[in-house]
Amino acid sequence: MAHSTTSKKQKILIVFLCFWVAFFEGFDLQAPGIAAQGIAASYALDQVQMGYVFSLGVFGMLFGAFFGGRVADYLGQKKVLMLSIGIFGVFMALTAIAPNLEILYLARFLTGLGLGAAMPTMISVVGDEATEENRGKLNSLMYCGLPVGAIFVAGLAMLVTDIKWQTLFLIGGLTPLLLIPFMAVILKDKPRVVKQASNEDVPGMAQVLFKQQQYKNTLPLWVGFFFTLMINYILISWLPNLLMQQGLEKQQAFLVMLVFQVGAVIGTLGLGYLLDRLKLWQMAVIIYSGLFIALSLLFTTTAVPVLILAGVMGGIFSTGGQSILYGISPIFYSGSGKVTGVGTAISLGRLGAMTGPLLTGKILALGLGTTGILMASLPAVVVSAVAVTALSRYKAKQDSR
């Protein structure tokens, strides 16, 4: 195993580096939600077109996660991680100076493509350093970079009230490029997988995902990822806008978004700690019950103190729940197919993440408001809970073998 050959210092550096990659993903996820009104004003966009701005980045992530994971199994994780950060940084910066709507859409798509390839690679890099005892802890330390990045954007927008949306995207695009030289030095390049006489060295995608009884892990994992990320992205993309439509002032809406992301840090670290101690079905009960309550409060009340509480809960259970899925996904796949398995699960999650903001745009355009969004979200919570509970059963069987 890789973790036995890695010095403790290097292990810390690897997790720290991946934390910063996650930080910039969080920055990019939150920036369009914070900048939504500015972007809509600059390009004269309606709600459906804003749905595309949110979703095209996620659409890029879907392709990035799907192909990036596969490419990393061949070329090595280090090269793919460096390349994906380069693509992400350049095109996020381009978003800020896009001369027209078409270039804006393209820049969002390619930003997502770079980020999408980074995530499964990064999860596998950290997974290679983890043991059964510290898997939840290491994964949550890496993944909490995502809500911290989002907090940074929300905090910046609250503190610098007249900050231009273009400035946010330039900061988020140019800064991650500084990580690339550090990656070149710190990350180890795993020996690439070479196809030899036996085809088992590089298993085909279908073999990785469905061979023998593997589909019993793959399908519930996909369902859990799809619906959990769908809800998470509805909240990240639309919440500030929805709260302002419910009558909150801009700064109050940003405050709820800020505490949502503070909750996300608490959830990522707290649930990661619990993952090393509880059974997966117990985690599912905690996460999805909490999410059910949080959504019900967020979309039915206008009282700011209640919204702040609901915002914290929403962050704990939607982003925290998502980080648990990321943490457990590598254990269902082995060997050279691991990044492929994780990458396809994340791709399905991205499909949900893309569906969420688009669906919300359509629901709002139909005039169904937050009640319509709530009605679309709650069944998704129940389905996710069932899927993750099913995974618990299969995990217990695997552990007993």
**Alpha-carbon torsion 254, 49, 65, 71, what sign?**
negative
What does the pLDDT read at residue 399? 61
How many CB atoms are located within 10 Å of the residue 357 CB? Answer: 27
What does the pLDDT read at residue 85? 93
Residue with tokens 């510290």: 134
Exposure b/e, 256-267, CB count within 10 A at least 16 = b = bbbbbbbbbbbb
Instruction: With CA atoms as reference, report the closest residue to 34 among 143, 156, 144.
Output: 156
More confident position, 210 or 48: 48
Instruction: With CA atoms as reference, report the closest residue to 267 among 331, 314, 325.
Output: 314
Token pair of 88 as six digits? 């992400």
The answer to whether the CB of 324 falls within 8 A of the CB of 36 is no
Average pLDDT of span 95-106: 91
% the chain with pLDDT above 70:
89
Exposure b/e, 209-231, CB count within 10 A at least 16 = b = beeeebebbbbbbbbbbbbbbbb
> What is the per-residue pLDDT across 183-239, written as a single tens digit (0 to 9) for each?
888 887 665 444 443 444 556 666 766 766 677 778 888 999 999 999 998 888 888
0.85 surpassed by pTM? no
**Alpha helices of 246-303 — where are they, by DSSP H?**
250-275, 280-298
pLDDT score of 270 more than 70: yes
How many CB atoms are located within 10 Å of the residue 383 CB? Answer: 16
The answer to whether the CB of 198 falls within 8 A of the CB of 28 is no
Enter the CATH code of domain 2-188+203-400.
1.20.1250.20
Task: Point out the least confidently predicted range of 17-26, 233-242, 330-339.
Answer: 330-339
Average pLDDT of span 367-374: 84
More confident position, 217 or 243: 243
What does the pLDDT read at residue 2? 43
At a CB cut-off of 8 Å and minimum separation 6, what does 259 contact? 308, 311, 312, 315
Residue with tokens 């493509």: 113
What does the pLDDT read at residue 87? 94
Which amino acid would we find at residue 168? Answer: L
| 128 phi, psi to nearest 5 deg | -65, -25
HSE-up (13 A, CA, CB side) for residue 264: 29
Average pLDDT of span 368-389: 89
Exposure b/e, 53-87, CB count within 10 A at least 16 = b = bbbbbbbbbbbbbbbbbbbbbbebbbbbbbbbbeb
What does the pLDDT read at residue 206? 66
Average pLDDT of span 305-329: 90
Name the residue ranges covered by the structural domains of the chain.
2-188+203-400
pLDDT score of 243 more than 50: yes
> What is the per-residue pLDDT across 282-297, written as a single tens digit (0 to 9) for each?
999 999 999 999 999 9
pLDDT score of 122 more than 60: yes
The answer to whether the CB of 139 falls within 8 A of the CB of 151 is no
Token pair of 314 as six digits? 């929403």
% the chain with pLDDT above 90:
27
Distance CA 162, CA 301 (A): 29
Cα angle 10, 13, 14 (rounded to 5 degrees) comes to 85
What does the pLDDT read at residue 194? 45
What does the pLDDT read at residue 204? 66
Instruction: With CA atoms as reference, report the closest residue to 157 among 246, 46, 244.
Output: 244
How many CB atoms are located within 10 Å of the residue 178 CB? Answer: 11
